[in-house]
């Protein structure tokens, strides 16, 4: 087999065989296939796409490139959740304790953020003392004792994705249904859960810019998961404006706590309620409507919040010590009108530049910085009213943040939060 012939084949819109796909993954990992050859193939895939069987075979070859987590020692249906990445997305912090408080065991691995998207591990590290690394034995013991554990991705999970993703990032080949689906699904399948709920973000602040492309990605991932015997549910959700009010690690943890206590932003509260209900439905094998009643109950009677406290304390965190910068500035609106747009992507980049995110994997981050938005799309703001508060530890330009908001005389109809559940 020869990489040049494989590149030519994809360039000519032909279908790659399983053997060819396995050859590519194996030889790219061991260095026989060079970065420039792999980027050329990735670009051909981006342009000409892949058929269903090819995507399945690519996912399997990537999955088989490394370790797989075995969760079979944990009782019951293990449910995992993944978001394709968004601004202010702290749903995992809210969902896991809800689900665990209803007796569904959660054993989850999460990553750190890169670029404008935040990572759950970074958010949790803003809590003083929280330990994100655990041995496999301690991880499983924790799930057995309190029904919930979340640790940093470790070991040799899908090394093919690490190497391919790094190349995609610098070769203009991130946006491809085949490549995104195989990247996300190989990691989810390696994490060992029986059921997977995927939140595919749609909009300016997301990888998928419109509902059609998100639907295509969602359908592909659902088919891959089901072919591996997993229960799958796909949510297509709005990422035109940030989710909730807070963006930035410590600030987002505080907002997750408020949400668990019933005082969260309405959009975040609703999305968490729907995602959690789907997870509980899978975990307890009950209809979603019945799961919704149970979720409402644990939010109301405080059990979900108690589970959050138990979880954070078990992993060494002090819930009363969440890093938030003491330097803050409130920005007031110079205009009056309806908020018709909040540019989530720009906010994501600005918050990263405040120090909340990384440009390179090795960068240190500032857990205490970020923004809290005070008005969301569709709301009316008066002149002099508070638009947002910036938490900082270094200089920034006020106008950059103000320019993320469009204020207009006419009210615009707000986009739906959940476009579709597949
Ligand atoms: N997230 C991933 O893990 N992989 C992609 O390709 C895109 C988003």
388-412 burial, b at 16+ Cβ within 10 Å, e below that, comes to bbbbbeeebeeeebbebbebeeeee
Ligand 1 midpoint to CA 81 (Å): 14
Q: Are residues 383 and 344 in the same domain?
A: yes
pLDDT band, very low/low/confident/very high, at 236 (cuts 50, 70, 90): very high
Catalytic residue, chosen from 10, 81, 90, 187, is 187
Tens-digit pLDDT profile for residues 377-408: 999 999 999 999 999 999 999 999 999 999 99
Catalytic residue, chosen from 161, 258, 343, 366, is 161
Q: Are residues 370 and 274 in the same domain?
A: no
Average pLDDT, the chain: 94
Q: Are residues 23 and 97 in the same domain?
A: no
3-class secondary structure, 270: helix
For residue 187, give the ligand 1 atom closest to its CA. 3
Token pair for 7: 């590149």
Is the shortest distance between the CB of 180 and ligand 1 below 6 Å? yes
Which CATH number does the domain housing residue 277 bear?
A: 3.40.1030.10
Q: Is residue 415 part of a domain?
A: no
Is the shortest distance between the CB of 184 and ligand 1 below 6 Å? yes
Q: Is residue 186 part of a domain?
A: yes
Q: Are residues 115 and 188 in the same domain?
A: yes
- The answer to whether 377 and 340 have CB atoms below 8 angstroms apart is yes
Residues facing 241 on adjacent strands:
none
Our answer to whether residue 187 is catalytic in this structure is yes
Q: Are residues 272 and 392 in the same domain?
A: no
Tens-digit pLDDT profile for residues 46-102: 999 999 999 999 999 999 999 999 999 998 999 999 998 789 999 999 999 999 999
pLDDT band, very low/low/confident/very high, at 206 (cuts 50, 70, 90): confident
Q: Are residues 391 and 310 in the same domain?
A: no
pLDDT of amino acid 117: 67
Which CATH number does the domain housing residue 17 bear?
A: 1.20.970.10
Tens-digit pLDDT profile for residues 157-184: 899 998 998 899 888 898 899 999 999 9
Q: Is residue 114 part of a domain?
A: yes
Our answer to whether residue 183 is catalytic in this structure is yes
Average pLDDT over every residue of 320-349: 96
Average pLDDT over every residue of 180-195: 94
Cα three-residue angle 391-392-395, rounded to 5 degrees:
140
Ligand 1 midpoint to CA 46 (Å): 14
Q: Is residue 67 part of a domain?
A: no
pLDDT band, very low/low/confident/very high, at 412 (cuts 50, 70, 90): confident
Q: Are residues 305 and 336 in the same domain?
A: no
Which CATH number does the domain housing residue 388 bear?
A: 3.90.1170.30
Is the shortest distance between the CB of 117 and ligand 1 below 6 Å? no
pLDDT of amino acid 204: 82
Residue with the smallest CA separation from ligand 1 atom 3 is 184
Residue 360 pLDDT > 80: no
What percent of the chain has a predicted confidence (pLDDT) above 90? 87
Our answer to whether residue 161 is catalytic in this structure is yes
Average pLDDT over every residue of 274-286: 98
Residue range of the domain that includes 342? 328-408
Q: How far apart are CA 62 and CA 69, in angstroms?
A: 15
Residue 116 pLDDT > 70: no
Q: Are residues 124 and 194 in the same domain?
A: yes
Q: Are residues 146 and 226 in the same domain?
A: yes
Give, in order, the Cα–Cα distances in Å from 354 to each of 212, 296, 391: 34, 37, 9
Average pLDDT over every residue of 138-162: 91
- The answer to whether 239 and 253 have CB atoms below 8 angstroms apart is no
Number of domains in the chain: 3
pLDDT of amino acid 122: 92
Q: Is residue 56 part of a domain?
A: no
Ligand 1 midpoint to CA 312 (Å): 27
Token pair for 179: 């490549």
Of 39-43, 203-207, 293-297, least confident by mean pLDDT is 203-207
Average pLDDT over every residue of 309-330: 98
Of 115-124, 127-136, 314-323, least confident by mean pLDDT is 115-124
Q: Which residue among 170, 184, 206, 221 is best mutated to probe the pocket of ligand 1, counting the most ligand atoms within 8 A of its Cβ?
A: 184
Q: Is residue 421 part of a domain?
A: no
Q: End of a domain among 314, 341, 359? A: 314
Q: Are residues 184 and 306 in the same domain?
A: yes
Q: Is residue 64 part of a domain?
A: no
Strand order in the sheet with 328-332: 246-247, 370-373, 386-391, 328-332
Residue 137, burial from CB neighbour count under 10 angstroms (0-12, 13-18, 19+):
exposed
Q: Are residues 303 and 177 in the same domain?
A: yes
For residue 179, give the ligand 1 atom closest to its CA. 6
Q: End of a domain among 314, 340, 362? A: 314
Q: Which residue among 118, 183, 201, 205 is best mutated to probe the pocket of ligand 1, counting the most ligand atoms within 8 A of its Cβ?
A: 183
Q: Which residue among 165, 185, 200, 201 is best mutated to probe the pocket of ligand 1, counting the most ligand atoms within 8 A of its Cβ?
A: 165
Q: Is residue 418 part of a domain?
A: no
Q: Are residues 225 and 350 in the same domain?
A: no
């Amino acid at each position: 087999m020869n990489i040049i012939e494989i590149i030519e084949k994809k360039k000519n819109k032909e279908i790659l065989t399983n053997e060819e796909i396995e050859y590519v993954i194996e030889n790219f990992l061991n260095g026989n296939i060079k970065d420039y050859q792999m980027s050329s193939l990735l670009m051909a895939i981006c342009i000409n796409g892949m058929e269903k069987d090819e995507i399945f075979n690519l996912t399997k070859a990537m999955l088989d490139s490394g370790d797989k987590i075995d969760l079979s020692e944990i009782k019951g249906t293990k449910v995992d959740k993944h978001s394709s990445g968004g601004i202010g997305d702290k749903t995992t912090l809210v969902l896991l304790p809800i689900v665990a408080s209803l007796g569904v065991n959660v054993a989850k691995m999460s990553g750190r953020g890169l670029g404008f998207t935040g990572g759950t591990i970074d958010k949790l590290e803003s809590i003083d003392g929280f330990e994100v690394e655990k041995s496999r034995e301690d991880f499983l013991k924790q799930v057995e004792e309190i029904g919930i554990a979340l640790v940093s991705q470790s070991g040799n999970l899908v090394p093919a994705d690490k190497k391919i993703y790094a190349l995609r990032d610098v070769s203009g080949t991130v946006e491809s249904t085949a490549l995104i689906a195989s990247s996300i699904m190989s990691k989810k399948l390696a994490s060992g859960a029986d059921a997977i709920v995927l939140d595919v973000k749609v909009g300016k602040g997301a990888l998928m810019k419109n509902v059609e492309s998100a639907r295509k990605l969602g359908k592909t991932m659902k088919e891959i998961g089901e072919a591996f015997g997993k229960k799958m549910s796909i949510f297509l959700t709005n990422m035109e404006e940030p989710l909730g009010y807070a963006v930035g690690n410590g600030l987002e943890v505080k907002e997750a706590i408020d949400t668990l206590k019933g005082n969260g932003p309405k959009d975040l509260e609703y999305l968490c309620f729907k995602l959690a209900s789907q997870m509980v439905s899978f975990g307890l094998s009950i209809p979603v409507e019945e799961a919704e009643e149970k979720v409402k109950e644990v939010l109301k009677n405080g059990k979900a919040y108690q589970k959050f406290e138990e979880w954070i304390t078990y992993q060494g965190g002090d819930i009363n010590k969440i890093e938030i910068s003491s330097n803050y500035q409130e920005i007031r609106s110079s205009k009056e009108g309806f908020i018709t747009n909040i540019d989530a992507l720009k906010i994501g980049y600005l918050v990263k530049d405040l120090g909340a995110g990384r440009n390179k994997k090795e960068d240190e981050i500032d857990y205490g910085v970020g923004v809290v938005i005070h008005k969301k799309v569709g709301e009316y703001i008066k002149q002099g009213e508070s638009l947002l508060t910036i938490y900082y530890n270094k200089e920034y330009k006020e106008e950059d943040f103000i320019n993320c908001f469009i204020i207009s005389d006419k009210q615009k109809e707000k986009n739906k939060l959940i476009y579709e559940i597949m």
